[in-house]
Amino acid sequence: ALTNALKHAHGRPTAVHVHHGDREITVEISTDGPGPRAAGPGGSRRGLAGLRERVSVLGGEFDAGGRAGDGFVVRARIPTGSAS
């Protein structure tokens, strides 16, 4: 998600929130809007679909989409498993 932010919102404010709870990890990456089109980092070209697949394999939930003010947000919730 940070690679996507760098590619599509380069130079714009980007926030990262991570919470590690007893039963799950939640991650949210958000940007304030698109940045100038500049050469960005390479990647797998799988983007959000690849993120969705990886979160799903771990039994988690994934959501991505626009937010107010032309921004974009990516959210993932990943279970940590039961304590042994």
pLDDT digits 0-9 by tens, 5-15: 888 888 889 99
The gap from C-alpha 24 to its chain's centroid, in whole angstroms, comes to: 16
Q: How many structural domains are present in the chain?
A: 1
Beta-strand (E) ranges in 1-84?
14-20, 24-31, 61-67, 71-79
Q: Report pLDDT digits (tens) over 32-68.
A: 877 766 555 555 557 889 999 999 999 999 999 988 7
pTM: 0.78
In a domain, 19, yes or no: yes
CATH number at residue 14: 3.30.565.10
Instruction: Please enumerate in sequence order all residues whose Cβ is within 8 A of that of 76, keeping only pairs 6 or more positions apart, or say none.
Output: 1, 26, 27, 28, 51, 55, 60, 61, 62, 63
Q: Which domain holds residue 55?
A: 2-35+44-79
Task: Tell me which of 42 and 73 has the higher pLDDT.
Answer: 73
**Confidence class of residue 78 from pLDDT cuts 50, 70 and 90?**
very high
In a domain, 24, yes or no: yes
The pLDDT of residue 75 is 96
Is 84 within a domain? no
Is 13 part of any domain? Answer: yes
